[in-house]
Structure 1
Amino acid sequence: MLQKSSLEFLNQLKENNNRDWFAEHKKAFEAEQKLAKSFFTSVGEQLGKVDSIERMQIYRIYRDVRFSKDKSPYKNHFSVSFARTKPLLRGGYYLHIEPGGSFVGGGFWEPNAADLQRIRKEFEMDDEEVRTIVADATFKKYFGELKGEELKTAPKGFDKTHPAIDLIRKKQYLVTRSFTDKEVLAPNFQEEVLKTFQAMRPFFDYMSDVLSTDLNGESLYN
């Protein structure tokens, strides 16, 4: 379980996001970071029993402020991602712990140009399967709808009047489920995280099939 002390520390850090305060509270940070890492590792171990995970990345608390207007040196959250084993399995899982802003997410955050074009061409050719997946009751229950940044108009080479233009315009294909602080601290939070990851699988498996085949459905990796 995650502990109330972790959320309390993150709240204090939000109010005192400076190097002097952090240095004074370094031992408290290390204790809370250890608890978070233990939880993330446990989630990863359980996820690895039902999916093939090639990498777990626990993100550092330190912000890269070089290109940001916000010069706060520290993040106000703990987070981790789990990457599925490429090239046949695509999609990534993400867990974000922040007071008042915790969520589980996943999908395709920054698909490269070739993958994005392949996805768009698939939707241009046939969007029935993906619409069936995102209209499924379980998908709707956990995520509501498919999210992600999108273009204001059609990408180059695509018809802006195409019936699937709402999908084709997207630059990201993401799903998220928010959690309250009470839910994060509940004994069944890890179970709910794993259920949420599992609910992403039909979408991930469909997209994996798209990205590992050509437009004729022939495997790219045989």
Structure 2
Amino acid sequence: MTETFAGFGQKAIPFLKALDFHQSREWFQENRELFESELREPLGNLVETLSERFGAAGLGLRGDRKKSLFRINRDVRFSKDKRPYTNHVSAILSPDGTKMEQGVFFFYLGLDACFAAVAWWQPEAAMLQAMRRSIETKPEQFRKLVAVLRKSKLELGTQGAMKRMPRGFEHVTETDLAAAIRNRHFVVRRDIDPAVIHTPALADILVDFAAQARPLLDWGRAIQGTVVPLSQG
């Protein structure tokens, strides 16, 4: 039975600060119970509370404490940075409950930031091409999406955008459309006041944000239903 989210522990951020300072497997093992009680268990409760509420709202996003939470251990095999632990915790809710789908909800709690995002992040080539083509051929539909998001004070992010227009879209010169077509991701984000993370109100804030970002999910899903893999196109 799902345990309703009641907030992260008061020692959640102090734990992350200490872990970031020590970056020691020995220290982590000695303090694992604190990690579980202050961060991991509450994060699992948050994911499952959101999964229930997203389901009730018809958002098409779900998750659970087994599949949705990212590990706090870093993969250092191919990294020059050999610190064994991250300084944050995070989780993802998706259409099928795994981390492999597109059109997702993401939550991040760390020393540098606390935020939620709804994203089409690094979509495969055929999907990205279809999204760009939709912006080109249905500009008013895209502009309506942008306007609806802005009413909720949400802006599409530009992280990782191309500096030049992708091949086949050079003829698109309208500033807003060209900027959108250069995107590699389609993401909206809401920063969260760290003071709220210790209260059940965090879940309410995240549900409200997901509902406000729903137009981005719906836009992408409508395009996703028309995508033909490039190898078949």
For 1:37 and 1:214, locate their aligned partners in 2 and report how far apart those are by CA, in whole Å: 34
Given the alignment of the two structures, is residue 42 of structure 1 paired with residue 55 of structure 2, yes or no?
no
What SS does structure 2 have at the residue aligned with 1:84?
Answer: coil
Equivalent residues of 1:80, 1:95 under 8 A apart: yes
Letter in 1 for 2:88: H
Q: Residue in 1 aligned with 2:28?
A: 22
Q: Residue in 1 aligned with 2:192?
A: 179
Deviation of 1:192 (Å): 0.2
What SS does structure 1 have at the residue aligned with 2:189?
Answer: strand
Equivalent residues of 2:55, 2:62 under 8 A apart: no
- Identify which of 48, 52, 60 aligns with 1:52: 60
Alpha carbons of 1:62 and 1:160: their partners in 2 closer, same or farther (altered >3 Å)? farther
Return 181-190 or 163-172, whichever deviates more.
Answer: 181-190
Given the alignment of the two structures, is residue 196 of structure 1 paired with residue 196 of structure 2, yes or no?
no
What SS does structure 2 have at the residue aligned with 1:48?
Answer: helix
Deviation of 1:187 (Å): 3.8
What SS does structure 1 have at the residue aligned with 2:106?
Answer: strand
Cα distance per residue 1:53-95 (max 9 Å; x no partner)? 3544111111111222221111111211011259xx9510001
Residues 3-14 of structure 1 mapped to structure 2, 5 A cutoff: 3-14=9-20
Residues 1-222 of structure 1 mapped to structure 2, 5 A cutoff: 1-32=7-38, 33-50=40-57, 51-53=59-61, 55-56=63-64, 57-85=68-96, 91-136=103-148, 139-159=150-170, 161-163=172-174, 164-213=177-226
What SS does structure 2 have at the residue aligned with 1:110?
Answer: coil
For 1:36 and 1:85, locate their aligned partners in 2 and report how far apart those are by CA, in whole Å: 19
What SS does structure 1 have at the residue aligned with 2:94?
Answer: strand
> Alignment identity in percent?
26
TM superposition score normalised by structure 2: 0.82
How many residues get paired?
A: 212
Structure 1 residue runs of 5 or longer lacking an equivalent are 216-222
For 1:60 and 1:10, locate their aligned partners in 2 and report how far apart those are by CA, in whole Å: 14
Deviation of 1:139 (Å): 3.7
Equivalent residues of 2:61, 2:94 under 8 A apart: yes
For 2:156 and 2:26, locate their aligned partners in 1 and report how far apart those are by CA, in whole Å: 42
For 1:144 and 1:198, locate their aligned partners in 2 and report how far apart those are by CA, in whole Å: 15
